[in-house]
Amino acid sequence: VQLVESGGGFVQIGGSLRLSCELSGGTFTYYSMGWFRQPPGKAREFVAGINWNGEMTEYTDSVEGRFTISRDNPKNTVYLQMNSLKPEDTAVYYCAGGSMWAREELYKIWGQGIQVTVSS
């Protein structure tokens, strides 16, 4: 089972970006999914989570109202729509499968990570 992120890059302050994460080699609906991020020089942190059918979501306080997690099960893909981006959102973003909550040990599979840089 493999997760591959896409959609990262450079964006200006206040801009938007949508990350995608596609699962291959497994059954996507078995997995609740989460997004994490690791800012430069800091520990990895939870960003958002979604349950297997998309009916439940969870966000860390710093992104609530700006970021939206969603999933398209027929496409085996989870998304993270990021709006009103700030410099402090700069990080390597990871998708992970196995839970929708903040505890990393609950997740079974991880993507390789993708860089998001927010700057003027």
Q: Give the C-alpha separation, 19 to 77, whole Å.
A: 10
> pLDDT value at position 39?
98
> pLDDT value at position 120?
86
> pLDDT value at position 52?
97
> pLDDT value at position 103?
96
Residue-wise pLDDT for 71-114, tens only, equals 999 999 999 999 999 999 999 999 999 999 999 999 999 999 99
Q: Which two tokens stand for residue 35?
A: 């997004």
Residue-wise pLDDT for 27-66, tens only, equals 999 999 999 999 999 999 999 999 999 999 999 999 999 9
Residue-wise pLDDT for 4-14, tens only, equals 999 999 999 99
- What DSSP string describes 13-68? TT--EEEEEEEESS-GGG--EEEEEE-TTS--EEEEEE-TTSS-EEE-TTTTTTEE
